[in-house]
Amino acid sequence: RAKAAGGNRFERADPEADARAITRHGLTNALPAALERGEFFIEYQPLVHLGDGSVHGAEALVRWSHPQHGVLGPDRFIPLAEHTGLIVPLGRWVMAESVRQARFWQERHPGSRAGGPLRVNVNLSPTQLHHPGLVADTVEVLERSGLEPGALCLEVTESALIGADDDLLKPLRQLADMGVDIALDDFGTGYSNLANLRRLPVSVLKLDRSFTQSMQQHPADPVDIKIVEGIVSLAHSLHLAVTVEGVETGAQAEQLRELGCDTAQGWYYARPGAPDRIHSLALTDAV
């Protein structure tokens, strides 16, 4: 793609951009066979109570073990899968696998120290949200595994629900009525109308990592502190729990705990890892 720029009408395209486009193209084409060959795997990152650090569940994060490029993170391929629609079967696999895993944790370890059975969070992309099979697929996966719906939390980004009409909210409402938790992921970045929260069938707000990052400075940005305080107080008055993501230091955890956040996730507690580690962390609570 040569673009006209100033006097040089046939300026050469950016070769790095071309290389990236070629890789994207190659990765996109390789996705369906990769799913069939089982090249995707899931890492689980513990979710802990901010009060005492006890593990009560984990978020499922998909990775692609690519034969040439090594392990690729979701930011490299989820947008591509989203674009081609492969996210629907891929997302179905992630959900089935995560739910099966959560049931397995529960069988080996029925209660976390925090009380209650271990739970699992699964990310849903906008295309999955619009897919007519979402509710039926979820019901089937839960029934097949024997996991109670209350042990599954589906994470939807705030931006995916901005301006959502009733057609889009209906499947989420059905899932919420069954007892599945819905979390608003990356909350605070999407400029959503806060009053709108009342309309959404969500029970958890996951505060975006940018807020956690700003708690790292000493002292933290007073405006961000006010925003977090405001979000926490609004969330609690609507009976929503607040989770913080991206906690990397004890100072951040302490600050966010003082501000009233309920649960947390981040490298300070544990990086995403193999499924068995969740089970042993919950057993020993060695975080």
Q: Which residues bind ligand C2E (CB under 6 A)?
A: 45, 61-62, 73-75, 78, 91, 94, 123-125, 155, 185-186, 245-248, 265-267, 272
- Could you tell me the smallest distance in angstroms from the CB atom of residue 11 to Mg ion? 36
Rounded to a whole number of angstroms, the distance between the first and last alpha carbons of the chain is 51
- Report the distance separating Cα 206 and Cα 103, nearest Å: 24
Torsional sign, CA 199, 203, 205, 206? negative
Q: Considering the complex, state which of residue 3 and residue 267 has its C-beta at the smaller distance from ligand C2E.
A: 267
| Residue 157 near residue 202 (C-beta atoms within 8 A) | no
- Could you tell me the smallest distance in angstroms from the CB atom of residue 285 to ligand C2E? 19
- Output the six-digit token pair for 180: 């599945």
Q: Considering the complex, state which of residue 94 and residue 114 has its C-beta at the smaller distance from ligand C2E.
A: 94
- Report the distance separating Cα 222 and Cα 256, nearest Å: 13
Residue 80 φ then ψ, to 5°? -70, -45
Q: Considering the complex, state which of residue 91 and residue 275 has its C-beta at the smaller distance from ligand C2E.
A: 91
- Could you tell me the smallest distance in angstroms from the CB atom of residue 203 to Mg ion? 15
The entry of ligand C2E, Mg ion, none that residue 46 binds, CB within 5 to 8 Å by partner kind? none
Enumerate residues 150-209 that contact Mg ion by CB under 5 A: 155, 185-186
- Output the six-digit token pair for 97: 């696998």
Q: Report if residue 43 touches Mg ion, rule: CB under 5 A.
A: no
- Could you tell me the smallest distance in angstroms from the CB atom of residue 208 to ligand C2E? 8
Integer CA distances (angstroms), 168 to 34, 161, 284, in order: 30, 8, 41
- Output the six-digit token pair for 240: 């929503």
Reduce the DSSP state of residue 15 to 3 states and report it: helix
Q: Considering the complex, state which of residue 145 and residue 265 has its C-beta at the smaller distance from ligand C2E.
A: 265
**Count of positions on this chain that bind Mg ion (CB under 5 A):** 5
Enumerate residues 228-257 that contact Mg ion by CB under 5 A: 245
Site residues for Mg ion per CB under 5 A: 123, 155, 185-186, 245
